[in-house]
Amino acid sequence: MGFLNKVKKNEVKFGLENYVFLIRGTAKAGKSSFFAQIVEEMYGDSTKGLLIPFEKGYSAINGVNIFPYTITPEVVIDEETYTGWEVFTGLVDEIINTPEEERIKIVAIDTVDEFINVAIEETCRTSRIKTKKPCDSIDSAYGGFGRGRMFMKKMIKEQIEKLRGAGVGIFFIGHTKVKTLKTKIDEEEYQILGSNLTEDYDAVFANDADFILMITNDNKIVDGRMITGERYLRFRGDGFYAAGSRFANVPEQIPLDAKIFIQTLKKCVMDLAGVKDEKTMNKLVEKEEKESKETREKTKKVSEDKLNELITKIKQFGASDDTPISTKTELMGVIGEYEIDLKNPLNNNITSLQEIIDRFGI
């Protein structure tokens, strides 16, 4: 086949839509507002960003495009009840199927704490359907032994890859918590300020993030009173703050300012790309946008072909005279459970179809 002829030199890219950001901060630190400011500063058009709220806290944010329903495990929209996961994946599908010139460039998941709860509930729900057994926790899902957590992580990863594959950037927004840890050698205790999620849940987002950012305050105590100082955005950790980046040339921190943030990211890319002036940089951006569009179009075509292929296999199996009636009945039940659309292959996802094919040995 010739795999080595596919190898090419990687080039860093500038647009926010090329990256995944995980931004943490205390409650009311300005995380969601900062996202809104970044979208406006980067694109000059608030419609290029979308804040998807998993907890209510967007009412005081001016100018940001939001989905005007808080996504909980169960959501009522126009008097119809949906699962929270169904609403979220429906939004993702609508975003990626929007024509590219009209497509949202970057979305914010606000916050990952509640997003995880929605994903856990969906995992338990599908476990009850597929195993026909009770399930009231992630640890008992799919027979336990970590299978529920693996299923949930796979489920979330699929949505992240859908957005990234369509050229949509992601901002994960989370809360911070001071944690006391111990060294492995002498078990000496030390503290860090990191995610309020457990390590395995936080890794679902941190492992995919190109930038793990943290909002901090330069507070001072004056005459026994706490005086709130300037807010900063940390790019690097220092042993206490849990932050970091795939870019080696990021500063330790910058003022919490959208314009400075965009300039900082731009400078990092320019330095790594060896670009010295704005004009050359703009040409580089135009080139990467064209190449990204061509790649996405090819990827979309491959995905569409794969969906059609899998649906055809399932239909042929269901219609075959060699397939027992009892198996056909079971197959139709599973198709209903997975909410498979046999008439419109593109309304399905590859993972669900592949699971059906594997289950029946098609």
At residue 5, the pLDDT reads 77
How far apart CA 118 and CA 89 sit, in angstroms, is 12
Q: Cis ω on the peptide bond leading into residue 111 (within 30° of 0)? A: yes
At residue 20, the pLDDT reads 93
Are β-strands 49-53 and 106-110 bridged in parallel, bridged antiparallel, or unpaired? Answer: parallel
Are β-strands 231-234 and 253-255 bridged in parallel, bridged antiparallel, or unpaired? Answer: antiparallel
Give the pTM: 0.76
Cα-Cα-Cα-Cα dihedral of 204, 103, 354, 314, to 10°?
160
How far apart CA 323 and CA 1 sit, in angstroms, is 36
- pLDDT (tens, 9 = 90+) of the chain, 362 residues, equals 577 877 877 777 777 888 999 999 988 888 999 999 999 988 888 889 999 999 887 777 777 789 999 999 999 999 999 999 999 999 999 999 888 888 999 999 998 999 999 999 999 999 998 899 999 999 999 999 999 999 999 999 999 999 998 889 999 999 999 888 777 777 788 788 889 899 899 999 999 999 999 999 876 666 666 566 789 999 998 888 889 998 888 999 999 999 999 989 888 888 887 777 777 777 777 776 677 677 767 777 778 888 999 999 999 999 999 999 999 999 998 898 888 889 888 888 888 898 899 889 89
**Beta-bridge partners for 194:** 177
Using CA atoms, how far residue 169 sits from 106, 108, 338, in Å, is 4, 9, 28
**34 residue type, one letter:** F
How far apart CA 227 and CA 183 sit, in angstroms, is 34
Instruction: Show Cβ contacts of residue 258 under 8 Å, excluding neighbours closer than 6 positions.
Output: 34, 37, 38, 40, 41, 42
**Beta-bridge partners for 215:** 233
**H-helix or E-strand spanning residue 216:** strand 211-217
Burial of 32 (0-12, 13-18, 19+ CB in 10 A): buried
